[in-house]
Structure 1
Amino acid sequence: MTPAAFRQMALALPGVVERAHMDRHAFRVRIIFATLAADGCSANLKLTRDEQELHSERLESVVAPVSGGWGRMGWTTVMLDRIGDDDMAILLAGAHREGS
């Protein structure tokens, strides 16, 4: 998954707009549901805690909770160079639901 492919997938979801957010690119509907790191290596997605746990176990070396309190709220880091399109589509769909 490249940063450009991630951006394209996120923007293809209904109602999504992209805005700058601190040092990241943020994708939002009602609220931010995903951010892309400035270096393009990772993305953070807002998942439910159940989705976060499921995908962290299923994709152990690819997906992990953000450290600290943000992770306990469902924010999850995804390593872009380690994830395929199908898995990213599943994760983005879950995050998009959280942001709608």
Structure 2
Amino acid sequence: MATGEDLRRMALSLEGTTEAPHFDRMAFKVARIYVTLAADERTANFKFTPDEQQFKCMMLPDAFSPVPNAWGRQGWTTADLARLGAEDLENALRTAVAHAQPRKPLRR
């Protein structure tokens, strides 16, 4: 059973991650936001690709669900932290942070 503190600790241990307010949530980002934590620290929204989202929701349907709007169609996925183990949370964070890395400059 994961908690908001677990998410915060694990996210901030990932290289380059910072934490800052984002509307009514806390956001964790490198170059871009990859996860947000609800104010009550019970749920988090992760940035996955649509394929990753589908896989997570299939494998752990009690824990993961698409955000119910256009953000969800882009891969943003809500997790009920209490339904995640530490390994599942760490895997979700590592998957999401991969999408938040700085983009490489174009070669000329």
Which TM-score tier does this pair reach, normalised by the shorter chain?
A: over 0.9
Q: Which amino acid in 2 is paired with 1:25?
A: M
Q: CA RMSD in A?
A: 0.5
Q: Gapped runs of 5+ residues in structure 1? A: none
**Superposition pairs for residues 24-39 of structure 1, below 5 Å?**
24-39=25-40
The CA distance in 2 between the partners of 1:80 and 1:6, in whole Å, is: 8
TM-score between both structures, scaled by the size of structure 1: 0.98
Percent identity, aligned pairs only, is: 43
**Superposition pairs for residues 14-93 of structure 1, below 5 Å?**
14-93=15-94
Structure 2 residue 6 is the aligned partner of structure 1 residue 5 = yes
Q: Which amino acid in 2 is paired with 1:47?
A: F
The CA distance in 2 between the partners of 1:61 and 1:3, in whole Å, is: 17
The CA distance in 2 between the partners of 1:26 and 1:52, in whole Å, is: 19
Distance apart, 1:2 and its partner CA: 1.1
Larger radius of gyration: 2
SS of residue in 1 equivalent to 2:46:
strand
Q: Which amino acid in 2 is paired with 1:14?
A: E
SS of residue in 2 equivalent to 1:25:
strand
Aligned residues: 100
Distance apart, 1:71 and its partner CA: 0.3
Distance apart, 1:68 and its partner CA: 1.2
Q: Which amino acid in 1 is paired with 2:67?
A: V
Q: Which amino acid in 2 is paired with 1:58?
A: M
TM-score between both structures, scaled by the size of structure 2: 0.91
Cα deviation code 1:71-96 (max 9, x no counterpart)? 00110000011100001111110100
Q: Gapped runs of 5+ residues in structure 2? A: 102-108
